[in-house]
Amino acid sequence: MTDCFEKLLELLGGICDLRAAEALLDWDQQVCLPAAAAEGRARQLAAISGVIHERSTSAALGRLLDQLEASCFADDSFEAALVRRCRMNFEKSRRVPAKLVAATALTTGEAHGAWLKAREANDYAILAPHLAKIIELKREYAALFKVKHPYDALLDNYEPGMTTAELKRVFTPLCREQTKLIKAAALPAGEPEPDFMVADYSSSKQLRISEMVVRAMRYDFTRGRMDLTEHPFTTTLGPDDVRITTAVDRKLPVSCLLSTMHECGHALYEQGIDPICFHTPLADGASFGFHESQSRLWENQIGRSTAFWRWLYPYFKKAFPRQLSGVSQKRFLRTINSVRRTFVRTEADEATYNLHIMVRYELEVALFDGKIEAADLVTEWNRRMKKYLGIVPPDDRQGVLQDIHWPLGDFGYFPTYALGNLLAAQIFDAAKKAMPQLERSIARGEFAPLVDFLRENIHQYGARYTGTELLKHLTGSSRIDINPYLEYLRKNYLPNA
């Protein structure tokens, strides 16, 4: 290994350590920060983001990349992959003024506290001025890049190479077919839930079951931890510190479980990356869509499956004997997988979930087209909920205030959830072909075969390969295909189709 490459690793290691410190500040902000400390935390995040930006765009880094690009690394080598990734990040970062980076960090830090207050008061007006500032900053950011649509610049931060035009190609038929499916499969509006679905389920018992499941999924608690937060997330503070968070609702018996499985899917990806990638930008997912494919696969293809509940239901019923008295496993599973038009994305069934994403995706595109402003979001949100799901949120908390992404400035993130659903179906099909006995293993609570498959084919590579390259390796095609996902939904929700 050349001296030049050693210098690159040293420089990148320092940047990664700073990013870990930034992530820890963010984790603390979302998990246990005192309410009065929000303004101070925003300043701290702005300060550290400025230092990271300065080092990520330094002339020294640029010179190292210039020298290393002339080296004779094999195209499929770790060294070549790292230089390519660093060049991509460097060219993108150097376009962005340091003042814009600091202003964005400060504004989003303040917006997080405003979002918490707005949710508590059930009043979007508290968040609106903060969101207006964030949107303006993101428009300023998008204008720095030569793209066909301003939204493309934001998408690229989460799904490199993805464009608004390509999303339209994928989402238009997907939305059309899922809308048809919901009309055929959804329960009538207003149909009450069975009594056992609105009973009181102990928070501590829900958490114990969730922890049991993620341990079975091989989440390594010696390299991570699980905490409670308002909006669940996963964060990586280092190769041996990958943390998950979850939330509990006593009136939603599987919400905590599925949310925890979702976040554990992210964490397994991070914990499974080849150590050679540690302390470099390659210690990451191939894309956010691929990362979401891992979380959605565990949450849905596993967590909502008959095989999974053959294993878990006896434990679940033992924990909640009064609530589930006389409720068979078959009835329980049919109920938690029923198709209902609901207000909250994170509680949506998998048949309606992508339509929740369409609401957000359309609003984001309209914001960066300049067709709507932050002040219009409640009206426009409710209009699209009516269009896609036939329901209108009764209040802001169940509507435009439900997600943390926009206060964090994560415009362009939401489409990756839908892309993750599509990728999860393609990946799970590949896993079943490779392991004909997979469902039997799941029914015994043995998840090691699936974890090993994902580690071998996806996790270990981190960001060494693009999402397109990984998809081709797994399926033989580099294009996202909506059909495996639609077939999966039809099989589960239209058994006579």
**Please, which residues bridge with residue 235 across strands?**
243
| Distance (Å) of CA 159 to CA 174, 331, 452 | 19, 39, 25
- Say how far apart CA 480 and CA 401 lie, in whole Å: 31
For 339-387, strand residue ranges (E) read none
Closest by CA position to 112, among listed 101, 126, 100? 126
Token pair listed for 236: 């990586």
Name, in order, each residue with C-beta under 8 angstroms of 282's C-beta and a sequence gap of 6 or more: 78, 81, 82, 85, 273, 462, 463, 464
Closest by CA position to 225, among listed 16, 24, 34? 24
Is 254:196 a contact under the CB 8 Å cutoff?
no
Q: Which of 263, 292, 347, 350 is catalytic?
A: 263
- Say how far apart CA 132 and CA 222 lie, in whole Å: 42
Q: Coil, strand or helix: which one is 470?
A: helix
Own/partner pairs, 62-70, CB within 8 angstroms, 24+ separation = 62/90, 62/94, 64/4, 64/7, 64/8, 64/11, 65/8, 65/90, 67/4, 68/2, 68/4, 68/5, 68/8
- Say how far apart CA 486 and CA 422 lie, in whole Å: 9
Burial of 245: CB neighbours in 10 Å, binned 0-12, 13-18, 19+: buried
Any catalytic annotation for residue 380?
Answer: no
- Say how far apart CA 289 and CA 458 lie, in whole Å: 13
| Distance (Å) of CA 247 to CA 165, 227, 280, 407 | 36, 8, 31, 19
Task: Provide the annotated active-site residues.
Answer: 263
